[in-house]
Structure 1
Amino acid sequence: MFQASFDFHLGDGNLALFWTDRWNGPLSPCVIAPDLCKLIRPRTRKRRIVAEAVHDKQWIQDIIGQLTVTAILQYLELWQAVDRIQLRIGTEDVVSWRRDSSNVFF
């Protein structure tokens, strides 16, 4: 299966999906915290944008079900990442597509 490779540079957080996009570096929250991500409804993972998620820590309310020790550790790691977010109101998110050494986008 082909998967496009792109990164987000956060602006106001209205384009990047919180759970599945790489808005916080090379890995998305679902890659960093896979056990925690299993506790997020698929519909929420596909729709929750960063701006909504960080507002009043709404992302925490996305978590449903029993937390394992591993999921709790992942939660704490994600909490720290989210705590460092600085949204720039009035500035759109920027998508950067990756390309290989032969200038082919992947």
Structure 2
Amino acid sequence: MNQAPFEHLDVDTLAGWLADQAPLTLVDIRDPLSFSQGHIPGSRHLDNTSVAALLEEAPRERPLVVVCYHGNSSQQAAAWLGGQGYERVYSLDGGFTDWAARHPERVAR
């Protein structure tokens, strides 16, 4: 394998991509209650029941960013999604916790 299945992404880079309205798919793998209480605008909740729809709908050539609580679980999910044919998969370092701390005005509730 020549390429890692995913790359690490820092909060500042994601904030810039979102500000520039870059085309990307943003998924949040935290539990449904946590997601409903706050998430990055434009993200969709991803779990075992919604992953099939993601695989059908999300373009493989569009960057895919995976968000969890702290940036740990997202690495496993990103690696798996990278194996499903997505060309550019990222795990958000620091996760939603870091995002919310650094960009509290950019949390959808």
TM-score in terms of structure 2 length? 0.28
Select the structure with the greater relative contact order (CA < 8 A; seq sep ≥ 6). Answer: 1
Q: When you count strand as a share of all residues, which structure comes out higher?
A: 2
